[in-house]
Structure 1
C-alpha cells in the first residue's frame, strides 16, 4: 500500500518503525533492521543515548532562534542528513526518486549510495538541493575512477568514502531468511563493472584469506582519490582515535563517526560513546558527523553537545519511505526537527552553536 498522505497515529520514529512492518516483505525487513551477529552493537547504538541525561537552562532569550548550519559550503536548515542506504526500491516502488523528492522539499542533505537502485544521474536530475555521493572503492579502480567522474558531472558536491565495510558483516538475520534482491532491483551504478575472479578455496584453506582481500582499500587509496577529484572527501566509518590523525594528515574534509549501524562488526561501542574521544582528537580541524542510533531530537542534541556538527539517519527515513513515500520522509524529518527545536528551547540554546557539554547532566 502506498500513501499520498501520512497515515494517522504516526508521531515518532518508533511509530514509523512499527508501521513499516506492514509495508515491506519479511526479507526486506530483515535486511533493513538486522545487524551483525548477535546485533549487540546495533542495539547499543540506540540505548546508549538513553544513558546520557540533559539538564535544562531557563529564562533565555530566543530572538532569532534557528537550527541553520553551514557544512562544507552548503547552508542546511537543520543538522540532519539522510545517510546512504542501498536499494531504496526494496522499500518503495519509486526508490531513491521518492527520497530525493523529500530531501529537496524540506532542504535536507542527502547522501546517495553507490548501491542505489536508481542511477546516480537520475537522482541528481530530480534534486533541487545539493547531494553528496557515497563511494565504495571497487576492486576495479578504473571503474571507481569513472564512478567518481560520473558523480562530478552529475553535480554532486562531495564524496562520502565509506571505509568501515571492506567485507560484509556476519548477518545471521539475513542468512536465516535467505535475503536476496528481487528481480528488477540491482546496484544499477555498478552495471558493467568487472567482477574479481572467485577463488574456490579447498577445505584446508581460509574462505576469506585465500586471495579475496588483495584489492580492499587502504590509506593509499585516499591519496589516489584526492589525485583524481577536486570534490571534498568525507571519510565515513571512523571509530578509532588512532585513525583520526591519519585521515586528517591525508587531507580529508570531514569525518563521520559510524559503525555502519552495527551491520559489520558486532560488539563495537556505540557511536555516541566513541564521539567524545574522536572530537577531542579532531579539535575542530574538520567537521564531524555521527550516524547510527539517532531516534529522537534529544539524541541529535546530545550528539551536537559531544562534538558533532550534524547527524545522519538511515533506518528511520527508510521506515517512513516504506509507509508513505516522499511524504512520509518529509513528515519524519519534520518530527525530528521539531523534537530538536523543543530540546534546544528547554536547554536554553538559541542556535546550534550554543550547544555544548554544559547541557549534559553529570551525577
Structure 2
C-alpha cells in the first residue's frame, strides 16, 4: 500500500501538484490534457468559481446530513468517481486501489470500459463492504453490437447496478498535448474489457477522401442504438455527455434512466460551454430524470453549487487519478474525504441541513 506523502495534501489542487511530479510526461499528457487549446478544460474549473454562495446564520442544524437518493439507493454523500481509463498508468494497483477507496468512503464508482482491471475484480472489492456505494459500468456502443452486448452481460453478472453509456465521443478530440508527448500505452497497461474486439476493416480511400467522413462515421451509434441498448438490459442506463436540452428530451424518449452533464472533461470538442453553465438548462429539459454533472469539481463548495443548480450528484475524474498517483488507495480515499469534509463545512455555513436545501445556498445572480 502506498503511504500518504509526508506533507499531507489539504485540498484537491495539492494532489494535482504532487501528481505532476510523480507521473511521467506521457501519463500527464493523457490524464491532464484536453482538446485543442484546452479552453473548455479551463472553463470547467472557472465556471464553478464564478457561482457565489450566501451565508445564513443561527439556523437549526441538528440532524444535518449529506445523503442523497439516486436510482433507488440512498447514498451517504453525492460524490461519485467518474470513469477514467487506464488507471495503471497512474499507479500499479490501478482500479483495484480506486475501488478500495470508493468502498471505504461509501462513494459510488463508475468503472471505465477502458479499465486496466476487469469488472469482476472491481466488483468483488466493492461487494465485500455492505456499506459501499454502487458500482456502475461505463460502456460505449461498439461497431460490433454483439461485443457490446457481451460487455453488458459481464457487467450484469458482476453485480453492477447501472450502465453509463458515453455518447459524446464517437471520435477522439484533437488532443494536442497527447500528440506532442507522443502518448502510447506502456507494456502491461491495456484495456482489458476490449480484448477480442474486432473493428471493421478500414475502407480503401482515394486521395482527397476523409478517413472520418468516408469511413469511421458510418458505424457511429445513433438514438436508435441507444434505444436498442436500453431494451437489452435490466439495468438502468444513464447517458453521459449530454450538453444540449434537446438531447435531454430525446434521452427521455428512448428510456434513459438518468443524464450526466459532461463535456468529457474538455477532451472532445474544445470551446464547449462549461458544465456548470449547461447544468440548469439540462435539468429543466430532463423533466424529472435524475441529472448528474462532472467537469471541474475540485471543492466541496463546487459540490454544493452543483446540487443547488439541480444536480442529484457529481462525479470527479482527474482528482481520483491525481490522488491515486500520489498515494494509491489511501490517496483516493483521502481525496474523497476532503471533498466530503468541505461539503459539510459549506452546508454548515450556508445553513443547509440537507442537500435538498442546496438551492437556498446559492447567491442571487446579478
> Same fold per TM (> 0.5)?
yes
Where does residue 356 of structure 1 map in the other structure? Answer: 359
Which of 173, 198, 203 aligns to 1:199? It is 203
Q: Could you tell me whether the CA contact under 8 Å between 1:158 and 1:231 is conserved in 2?
A: yes
The 1-side partners of 2:281 and 2:261 are apart by 11
Where does residue 117 of structure 1 map in the other structure? Answer: 116
Which of 340, 344, 352 aligns to 1:337? It is 340
Alpha-carbon distance, 1:4 to partner: 2.3
The 2-side partners of 1:247 and 1:98 are apart by 33
Alpha-carbon distance, 1:200 to partner: 4.5
Q: Could you tell me whether the CA contact under 8 Å between 1:241 and 1:281 is conserved in 2?
A: yes
Q: 1:214 to 1:293 in 2, by over 3 A?
A: same
TM-score between both structures, scaled by the size of structure 1: 0.97
Where does residue 224 of structure 1 map in the other structure? Answer: 228
The 2-side partners of 1:208 and 1:123 are apart by 35
> Is 1:13–2:12 an aligned residue pair?
yes
Where does residue 59 of structure 1 map in the other structure? Answer: 58
- 1:34-55 Cα offsets, whole Å, 9 max, x none, are 0000000000000111111111
> Is 1:168–2:172 an aligned residue pair?
yes
Q: Where in structure 1 do 4 or more consecutive aligned residues deviate above 6 Å?
A: none
Q: 1:24 to 1:344 in 2, by over 3 A?
A: same
Which of 251, 254, 257 aligns to 1:253? It is 257
The 2-side partners of 1:3 and 1:22 are apart by 16
The 1-side partners of 2:304 and 2:95 are apart by 28
Give the secondary structure class of the aligned counterpart of 1:289: strand
The 2-side partners of 1:199 and 1:328 are apart by 46
The 2-side partners of 1:357 and 1:137 are apart by 40
Q: 1:357 to 1:263 in 2, by over 3 A?
A: farther
Which segments of 5 or more consecutive residues in structure 2 lack a partner in the other structure? Answer: none
Where does residue 305 of structure 1 map in the other structure? Answer: 308
Give the secondary structure class of the aligned counterpart of 1:330: helix
Where does residue 212 of structure 2 map in the other structure? Answer: 208
Q: 1:200 to 1:4 in 2, by over 3 A?
A: farther
TM-score between both structures, scaled by the size of structure 2: 0.96
The 2-side partners of 1:72 and 1:6 are apart by 37
Q: 1:60 to 1:90 in 2, by over 3 A?
A: same
Where does residue 243 of structure 1 map in the other structure? Answer: 247
Alpha-carbon distance, 1:9 to partner: 3.7
- 1:180-207 Cα offsets, whole Å, 9 max, x none, are 1001111110111112212343331113
Which segments of 5 or more consecutive residues in structure 1 lack a partner in the other structure? Answer: none
Q: How many residues align?
A: 361
Where does residue 42 of structure 2 map in the other structure? Answer: 43
Where does residue 102 of structure 1 map in the other structure? Answer: 101
Give the secondary structure class of the aligned counterpart of 1:355: helix
The 2-side partners of 1:357 and 1:59 are apart by 15
The 1-side partners of 2:244 and 2:277 are apart by 11
- 1:313-339 Cα offsets, whole Å, 9 max, x none, are 000111000000000001011111111
Where does residue 297 of structure 2 map in the other structure? Answer: 294
| Larger displacement relative to structure 2 (191-200 or 30-39) | 191-200
Q: 1:218 to 1:320 in 2, by over 3 A?
A: same
Alpha-carbon distance, 1:360 to partner: 2.1
Where does residue 87 of structure 2 map in the other structure? Answer: 88
